[in-house]
Structure 1
Amino acid sequence: MCGIAGYVGDRMHGDSAQSAIKKMAHAIQHRGPDDNGCWLDAESGVALGHSRLSILDLSPAGHQPMHSMGGRYVVAFNGEIYNHLELRSALHLPEGSWRGHSDTETLLAAFEAWGVETTLSKAVGMFAIALWDREARTLFLARDRFGEKPLYYGWVKGAFVFGSELKALRAYPGFDNAVCRDALTQYLQYMYVPAPRSIYQGIYKLEPGCLLTVKEPPPLIAPEQPLIAGQAHGSVSVRRWWSLAHAVEQGSLYPLLDEHEALSELEAQLSESVRLQSLADVPLGAFLSGGVDSSLIVALMQKQSSRPVKTFTIGFEEAGFDESPHARAVAEHLGTEHTELFVRVSEARDVIPQLPSMYDEPFADSSQIPTHLVCRAARQHVTVALSGDAGDELFGGYNRYFWGPRVWDKISWMPFQTRQALGRAIQTVPAEGWDALGALRSGAGVLRLGEKAHKLAARLSAVRTMDDLYLSLVNEWQHHEKLVIGASAWRANLPVLPDVPMDDPRARMMYWDALTYLPDDILCKVDRAAMAVSLETRVPFLDHRVAELAWRLPMSMKIRGNTGKWALRQILYKYVPHELIDRPKSGFGIPIGQWLRGPLREWGESLLDPSRLSAEGFFDPVPIRKLWAQHLSGKYDWTPRLWSVLMFQSWLGRGGEKINRY
């Protein structure tokens, strides 16, 4: 894995130009500590920077920025092209044409032979690419199909800048872009800043599957709104080179209705994805939680390996949050070389001050903490780790896919006012009371029932349709526009559905999650948590051929009765007994809510001090203080909402507050 950075349109010369691009690349050196390089064309005002984590071709032949054989293109590339050997073969170049065996060199040769979009369509991989066409004086920025690798762009002091992380853009001379209050409003809803916005005015995220083109010279000022596919701003334009909607539409035209055929094809495609993603010139392993997704990836890895696969998990002190025994049982059954790190509470809390720097912008999925810890543990042994991410979105694993439609079926007949009253009644029972009820039904229930019950109750007051219920389940703060001072009124809208019937609400939820929650939360969380320790992560489920195949399966092969990910389970049961796998889904969490009432209380109080909130001028302190008091009382659980504010406040202060270790 690597980091890229650069700019277009700045006419700095000599030492100033060199210094600017070196500072940008140095800011993301954690993404690639093995090598770094810069290239600039002062006449065109173009510079590319690169920090390299060597995975394929560890020799100097893999150094970037890299020039194409014909000299037309210069590239800074972050990611992996898993089928690059196949692409090399298809290029039919004479023997001796290649300088090394890196996928970067393969990409450049393909760009020269086939053009940019054709090459992207042939590539199987994860990537963020900055490509300068010296002949056409054009910059191309490309992001992979699902957004596994990040790519930011925008305007600073009249220059068009870009990079893998915001810290690269902040390193550009004179950066003083203000906080975008509309982005802050969206952040409070989703717990992350959704693409195409970033937390800064004039800085945006390139959406997954998109290609941005900059004809030199770029415009001097940013557009008032972020660009989406099909839009342009002067010489800057964005178009979509791959579409999930198209994949869904194709899946509906060519469904796999025979179960035996579907499972056989799915296992073969997943096995091929695992095989390709297991290729590396450095030590490789996998995360293992003991759940369906990670267990299946590890099982397929172990099947293909002649030696035990290295697997990693972490354990916690708190009961109900420790999944390490499940992972251990699966590892023993598969015969992996398993490493288990048992984390003390103080170690987990020590990560919190690092989060603002790690994520660059406010990010409030608290599982970012255990994710970073397991990445840190894995990096002591390997440089690349495969994960089971995206299985939920593609094959129907999230709890909301089950109980969302069921809840709606039970309450949709009620008058709206009655639903509001029901929500208030649910909230009168403390979260601990619901947890106790859930424990009585532990064999069939859902863990941390109190948190989910309060979350549902808070949403019953605003939903009128099943789609409203979904939107409320993935949104946190209500009346968010009143919370952020100076923000414009903004209401979340669901992405447009594909041009095929999607009457099943579960299919709609899975599609929306794949477009939003997956890239902006899950993949962002893992990328930053891993890159902070220079660990490359790979996601076999996001080989686009696996994803396209998933949308050919009928819903009955994903969710059957009370069982999610049915198809994945049938494959997994060939390798791991079902009794080691079948249990309530719990996610990858830690007891942040309990900590806020205990060891994190002083830290939280300092960040939520009303005079501080008023002085900073971003939030109305009144509703925040009200929720803080309710949470501390123990009668309500407002962990997600409070965590979102605390993460913004910590980011604003860059994590400088002390945390009580005891």
Structure 2
Amino acid sequence: MCGLAGFWQLHGGAHGALLQQVQAMSVQLTHRGPDDSGVWCDEAAGIALAQRRLSILDLSPAGHQPMHSACGRYVVVFNGEIYNHLDLRERLLAEGAAPAWRGHSDTETLLACFVAWGVERALQASVGMFAFALWDRQQRALTLARDRMGEKPLYYGWQDDTLLFGSELKALKAHAAFHADIDRDALALLLRHDCIPAPHAIYHGVFKLRPGHLLRISADAPRDVQPVPYWRYNDAVSAGLRNPLHVTDAEATDALEAQLSASVEAQMLADVPLGAFLSGGIDSSTIVALMQARSARPIKTFTMGFGENGYDEAVHAKSVAAHLGTEHTELYVRPEDALAVIPRLPTIFCEPFGDSSQIPTFLISQLTRRQVTVALSGDGGDELFGGYNRYLGARTAWERMQRLPWFARQAGAGALRAMSPAAWNRWFERVKPLLPKRWRLATPGDKAQKLADVLTLSSGHAFFLNLASQWKDPGSVVIGAHEPVTLLTDPAAWPHTDNLAHWMMAMDAQSYLPDDILVKVDRAAMANSLETRVPMLDHRVVELAWRIPLHQKIRGGEGKWLLRQVLYRHVPRELIERPKMGFGIPLDSWLRGPLRDWAEALLDEDRLHREGYFHPAPIRQKWKEHLSGRHNWQHRLWTVLMFQAWLEESQRVSS
């Protein structure tokens, strides 16, 4: 796990100037790789590469980067892990293509695969999470690539005649050629999604490489190329739906457990201390159970609680840890501990990011890094196995809504909005003992408001986009913005399925998961120099998940049914069964309390007018309604606040 940066200056450059620029970029990524650093440049070609290393495999100097292939043709800077690299070495040996190995790093293995098979075949043979920049000295060509599911980040963009690239935007900004012009269209995307979806970025002329894509740039035509996929998520969807498993529940459970176990075992390979996040939920508990089953010693597990009703899962995690026999560490965070993180967020996230669970994610990463260097997580289970509430009975719910006359849907939406989220929460609390278990929701008030929004929509796709949106019309909030087409609004990019639940799952896995969840985990963990690994995002697990029929994922109003069956083989059902909780914080009350003055300063009407990015009126209206308690606008306000705080920090650094 590392950070990489570099640039390609088409007119060449003096060796000293190239080194100075790339070293300045590298320094911005020290948190991603505090153990080692290296730079390399070719002044005739104008190429410069830098890498910051967090040593995980092969802690010796043989793992140093930038790394040259044994034949001398390629130079690479690499961020991530290739979990099957030992198997790849065996294949190279069998083919007579193995070099005289200098060490046992996966980077050296990958370089040998490039030499023997070419870049695309090597990528298709690799299992892992990664981003890299590869310079071909023979053909004077640069290849940028990113892993299939988007676990590792990679930004790039032309600034005049210089191509800049790196793991985080702050590295690109350190180059003298960088132009920090904010893209208002990308800002509109931020308000809708809490994040900026790939390939967009907050600055003009800068892009994120999409998951599963590579970009090959040749000196002959450096600007006339576009990223191309070497693996497509939609292909995995289509192949799985065409060739579903026709097996019993027990056989399907066996198949899933076997594949997940293989993924977990591969990702436990490390030359440094390793542990896992444990929330006590289905996903993380499954990963920890499979880890402990493969370890002779107690696995180190970590959890965090806030001690506030509706936000604390630590007690559940402790019970799971005790049953599995892990070496468990828990931290109860005081509000002031979490609040102290907020001023750091604009530096941790190199572009504005509005998912407030960034705070607990940073804190759990900070706790974990005190004892281990690598942590496995359970991310991906919801998207692959139908865990989010919006999937549960999605098609049935939508069909029922469509059967209602238009006036009835309008009236229903009005009735739901007549009570504030707080009032709905109080009412549900009183009647909770009378409700079936599946209706005992964690935040019923927020869900009532969401239902009111969707009752008046015209299609299942619009239904999903509404659920995936914070500000429903961000173009009316951001001055001069024209919201770009994205995966969610481009039918040509959609998976081929008529099942609304399947469609939602596939869309989340290609948007919300890489653009929000994985960004949050990567930045929060790497700010603490902690490597995170996600076994459920092994592409072989993904491809198997899409062969599993929907009735084995969602059954009886319950999501992740098959994943639960795997877990129940290791953990008693009674330790797991409870309403789903997010990894959240009591942000709504904090904005009315300890964060009120901070937020008021950032949302000041004169300030918004002066900066010129937002129309103040809709923001001020939401702020007043939130403070009054009539509505809970915490998520919409937080996204604006994160941009404002990020903008303030950017202006401070550039001044």
- 291, 294, 300: which is aligned to 2:284? 294
Q: Which amino acid aligns with 1:593?
A: D
Q: Greater shift after overlay, 124-133 or 87-96?
A: 87-96
SS at 1:355's partner residue?
Answer: helix
Deviations 1:418-444 (CA, angstroms, capped at 9, x unpaired): 434432332221211211233332644
Q: Tell me which moved more, 287-296 or 500-509.
A: 500-509
Q: Is the alpha carbon distance of 1:499 and 1:2 closer, same or farther for their aligned partners in structure 2, counting shifts above 3 Å?
A: closer
State whether residues 13 and 44 of structure 2, in contact with CA within 8 Å, keep that contact through their aligned partners in structure 1.
no
Counterpart of 1:55 in structure 2 is 56
In 2, the alpha carbon distance for the partners of 1:342 and 1:541 equals: 28
Q: Give the superposition deviation at 1:475.
A: 0.8
Q: Is the 8 A contact 1:367 1:590 kept in 2?
A: yes
Matched letter for residue 511 of structure 1:
A
**Distance apart, 1:500 and its partner CA:** 7.6
| Contact preservation (8 Å) 2:273, 2:371 | yes
TM-score by length of 2: 0.95
SS at match of 1:88: helix
Among 632, 635, 638, the alignment partner of 2:630 is 635
Residue of structure 2 equivalent to 1:245: 234
1:192 correspondence with 2:183 = no
Q: How does 1:110-509 map to 2 (within 5 A)?
A: 110-216=113-219, 233-234=223-224, 236-259=225-248, 260-402=250-392, 404-439=394-429, 440-441=431-432, 443-444=437-438, 445-461=440-456, 463-488=457-482, 490=484, 493-496=488-491, 502-509=497-504
Contact 1:428 1:635 in 2 (8 A): no
Structure 2 contact 162–177 (Cα < 8 Å) conserved: no
> How big is each residue's C-alpha offset from its partner over 1:494-515, in whole Å with a ceiling of 9 and x where there is no partner?
3547898522211000000011
Alignment partner, residue 571 of structure 1: 566
- Tell me the equivalent position of 1:2: 2
Distance 1:241 1:557 in 2: 30
SS in 2 for 1:149: coil
Listed one character per residue, the Cα deviations across residues 20-74 of structure 1 (whole Å, up to 9, x for unaligned) are: 0001111011000000000000100101110000000000000000000000000
CA contact (8 A) 1:385 1:538 kept: yes
Q: In the alignment, which residue of structure 2 is the partner of 1:227?
A: none
Deviates more, 1:14-23 or 1:542-551: 14-23
- Counterpart in the other structure of 1:222: none
Residue 476 of structure 1 and its aligned partner are, at CA, apart by 1.3
> How large is the RMSD of aligned CA atoms in angstroms?
1.8
Q: Distance in 1 between matches of 2:218 and 2:607?
A: 45
- Given that residues 276 and 375 in structure 2 are in contact (C-alpha distance below 8 angstroms), is that contact kept between their aligned partners in structure 1? yes
Percentage of identical aligned residues: 55
SS in structure 2 of the partner of residue 237 of structure 1: coil
Flag structure 2 segments of 5+ consecutive residues without an equivalent. none
Note closer, same or farther for the CA distance 1:253–1:96 as it changes in structure 2 (3 Å cut): closer
- Give distance in 1, aligned partners of 2:312 and 2:529: 26
Is contact 1:9–1:217 with CA below 8 Å preserved after alignment? no
- Mapped contact 1:9–1:218 kept (Cα < 8 A): no
Letter in 2 for 1:5: A
Superimposed CA distance per residue, residues 212-269 of structure 1 (whole angstroms, 9 cap, x where no aligned partner): 01112665xxxxxxxxxxxxx42x3311100111111211232112123222111111
Q: Quote the offset at 1:402 in angstroms.
A: 1.5
Q: How far apart, CA to CA, are the structure 1 residues paired with 2:392 and 2:500?
A: 10
CA contact (8 A) 2:42 2:48 kept: yes
Q: TM-score, normalised by structure 1?
A: 0.94
Instruction: Judge conservation of contact 1:8–1:216 (CA < 8 Å) in 2.
Output: no
Q: Show the counterpart of 1:550.
A: 545
CA distance in 2: counterparts of 1:403 and 1:635, whole angstroms: 30
- The match for 1:29 is 30
Q: Which moved more, 1:171-180 or 1:113-122?
A: 171-180
SS in 2 for 1:464: coil
Q: How does 1:56-135 map to 2 (within 5 A)?
A: 56-92=57-93, 97-135=100-138
Determine the C-alpha separation between the residues in 2 that align with 1:495 and 1:310: 44
Shift of 1:108: 0.4
Offset, 1:353? 1.0
**Mapped contact 2:237–2:543 kept (Cα < 8 A):** yes
Residue type matched to 1:2 in 2? C
Indicate how the Cα distance of structure 1 residues 428 and 95 shifts in structure 2: closer, same or farther if over 3 A, else same.
closer
SS in 2 for 1:622: helix
Could you say which residue in structure 2 is the equivalent of 1:644? 639
> 1:62-114 CA distances to partner (integer Å, 9 max, x unpaired)?
00000000000000000000000000111115888000000000000010000
Distance across 1 between alignment mates of 2:81 and 2:498? 37
Distance 1:364 1:66 in 2: 36
Against the structure 1 CA distance between its residues 95 and 637, is the aligned structure 2 distance closer, same or farther, given a 3 Å change threshold?
closer
Equivalents in 2 of 1:191, 1:615: separation in Å?
24
Q: Which amino acid aligns with 1:6?
A: G
What are the superposed Cα offsets for residues 281-332 of structure 1, whole Å, 9 maximum, x if unpaired? 0000000000011000000000000000000000103211010000000000
Counterpart residue identity of residue 64, structure 2: H
**CA distance in 1 between partners of 2:313 and 2:194 (Å):** 24
Structure 1: gaps spanning 5 or more residues: 220-232, 658-662
Residue 17 of structure 1 pairs with residue 7 of structure 2: no
User: Cα gap change, 1:497/1:486 in structure 2, threshold over 3 Å: closer, same or farther?
Assistant: closer
3-state SS, counterpart of residue 226 of structure 2: strand
The 1-side partners of 2:354 and 2:399 are apart by 31
CA distance in 1 between partners of 2:543 and 2:44 (Å): 44
User: Equivalent residue for 2:512?
Assistant: 517
